[in-house]
Amino acid sequence: MDILYLYSIKIGNKQAKNTVKRRFYYNFKNSIAGKTTKVFRSSFYTNEKNEKEIDNFFNEYIDWVEVFKTRINSFEFIQHRIIQPSDNNKITK
């Protein structure tokens, strides 16, 4: 079974938030979480075997990062078309 993590950096001060973000993403990239997961904006999924290490990673940022996790049976990416500026923001069938 896979686990979906949702997280948000919860600091209001822009300079402090940027400092935490740099440290968080640098350490995330070098952790087991960054090496064994599929990352999306403020969310990622992984399998259960990495749960303990990922939870420990988030515990280091407990004062700055809000995190939720849920167990999932399946996860499907639905492709979508990105509208380019040259499309004049018109969607056609």
SS3 track for 16-75:
HHHHHHHHHHHHHHHCHHHHCCEEECCEEEEEHHHHHHHHHHHHCCCCCEEEEEEEECCC
Fold of 2-72: Alpha-Beta Plaits (3.30.70)
Give the list of residues 6+ apart from residue 42 with CB closer than 8 angstroms, or none: 6, 7, 8
pTM for the full model? 0.68
Per-residue pLDDT of the chain (93 residues; tens, 9 = 90+): 788 888 888 887 888 888 888 888 888 888 876 666 666 678 888 888 888 988 998 899 888 889 999 998 876 767 666 655 555 555 554
